[in-house]
Amino acid sequence: MTAVHAPVGGPQLEQVRRLITEVPGPRSREIAQRRGAALPTGLTSAVGVYAAAAGGGVLLDVDGNSFIDFGSGIAVTTVGNSAPRVVERAREQLGKFTHTCFLATPYESYVEVAETLNRLTPGDHEKRTALFNTGSEAVENAVKYARAATGRPAVVTFDNAFHGRSLLTMSMTAKAAPYKAGFGPFAPEVYRAPMAYPYRWPSGPENAADEAFTAFRDLIDVQIGAGVVACVIVEPIQGEGGFIVPAPGFLARVADFCRERGIVFVADEVQAGIGRTGAWFASEHEGLVPDLVVTAKGLAGGLPLAAVTGRADIMDAAHAGGIGGTYSGNPAACEAALGVFETIEQDNLLERARVIGDIMTRHLREIAAEHPIVGEIRGRGAMVAVELVEPDSDTPNRDAVAAINRDCVQHGLLTLTAGTFGNVLRFLPPLSISDDLLDEGFEILRAAFAAL
């Protein structure tokens, strides 16, 4: 098969939206048919088009259609898809060795990734970093470190939380469908506290921080007993839950409470971390200094890599040989992560994330002014979402989100949904996208709202 357009990704890919077939096109439909016979039905994809190349702010499909990318492969290709420094470093590494297993024969790039994360994560205390493959795996290991350091079993998570799909992280996740239904029994010693979700706080957003904190405190002090709690883990901006920014001050009080009780405070920065919000870590916006920080998605530009970074005394509590994995900290993924750090630093992408956030928020405000189904616009930096409701109420409007999402794909814009109630559209463009493509993407979104 010959490609319709250059099959090479990265920024050299022509930065246009262009539909030359119906969506999905014939070639995508052909692959989908093979997929139907080869893959289980429970493994779904958000769109029916198959990728051929991606870069800058676009994704090219196998039929030659070029889509504007507002999803970054779910917050992964923050520096752009096939970003040059990521590709060059990974390619060079693949030509040297693909794997030795860090547990068997170590290599320098792993150490350099750890040094960099130790430097960049909040706080100037002594830190250590261990690498893993996925967000779920890193969250599991954060719990292992917290349990080893405290000798306590319990894990406290929050409403709307998403921490992964493995047994423990699925147990920590706050949404039955689709993540948990039918997959129990779940891991024990996982407790759930209310999240200070301003838009949906029953007595009003102004009370969210106080009342949620009181409930959180009582859960631990009264119901569980602080003496058995190993860690409290929270997404500083809840991703899958719908880009919920906790009420100001709530997380700082949670962190202080943990410090007073000897509970390890863990920030799950898997979705919000590594520059996405206009800071290296979303924790910084609230002045938080977590004991442990978990990163993954944006860390290696699309190669599988995840990390737990935290206080040396906690990280050193796990016994020798107790932590690791065959593929953890793969050398090409480590090189890719170093390429991500360079790209963010040298291309000034933290600033770019803030500018993109301002552009997105401006467009969304214009849409909200015309459409009473917009309940709330929220997020930080290039991590912005709208929550859709029935007009003049706060009843979640899942159907509108599904319809708009479909309409956008049909017109060449890739968007993602989220939300505990499935009624949130989330926008996570790569930071390499141009202003023109951003504006064009929001014109498509605006038309999709109008077409409802």
Ligand X SMILES: *Cc1c(COP(=O)(O)O)cnc(C)c1O
| Chain residues that interact with ligand X, rule: CB under 6 A | 134-136, 139, 162-164, 235, 239-240, 268, 270-271, 296-297
> Could you tell me the smallest distance in angstroms from the CB atom of residue 326 to ligand X?
17
> Could you tell me the smallest distance in angstroms from the CB atom of residue 45 to ligand X?
15
Rg (C-alpha) for the chain, rounded Å, is 22
* Residue 152 backbone class (left: φ over 0; alpha: ψ -120 to 50; beta: rest): beta
> Could you tell me the smallest distance in angstroms from the CB atom of residue 415 to ligand X?
17
Q: Which is nearer to ligand X, 137 or 387 (CB)?
A: 137
CA angle 315/339/12 to nearest 5° reads 150
Q: Which is nearer to ligand X, 89 or 297 (CB)?
A: 297
Q: Which is nearer to ligand X, 56 or 236 (CB)?
A: 236
CA distance 165 to 167: 6
Q: Which is nearer to ligand X, 164 or 375 (CB)?
A: 164
CB–CB of 324/103 below 8 Å?
yes
Residue number closest to ligand X, CB atom: 135
Q: Which is nearer to ligand X, 162 or 250 (CB)?
A: 162
> Could you tell me the smallest distance in angstroms from the CB atom of residue 337 to ligand X?
14
Q: What residues contact 56, with CB distance under 8 A and at least 6 apart?
A: 10, 11, 13, 15, 80, 81, 430, 432, 433, 434, 437
> Could you tell me the smallest distance in angstroms from the CB atom of residue 319 to ligand X?
25
CA distance readout (Å), 87 to 132, 329, 431, 432: 20, 17, 17, 15
Q: Which is nearer to ligand X, 294 or 438 (CB)?
A: 294
Nearest partner of 216 among 254, 249, 190, judged by Cα: 254
Within 10 A of 17 (CB to CB), how many other CB atoms are there? 18
CA distance 393 to 391: 6
CB–CB of 78/383 below 8 Å?
no
Q: Which is nearer to ligand X, 374 or 418 (CB)?
A: 418
Q: What residues contact 109, with CB distance under 8 A and at least 6 apart?
A: 93, 331, 334, 335, 338
Token pair for residue 74?
Answer: 């779910």
> Could you tell me the smallest distance in angstroms from the CB atom of residue 240 to ligand X?
6
Does residue 429 have a cis bond before it (omega within 30 degrees)? Answer: no
Residues 145, 245, 68, 34, CA torsion sign? positive
Q: Which is nearer to ligand X, 83 or 293 (CB)?
A: 293
> Could you tell me the smallest distance in angstroms from the CB atom of residue 164 to ligand X?
4
> Could you tell me the smallest distance in angstroms from the CB atom of residue 165 to ligand X?
6
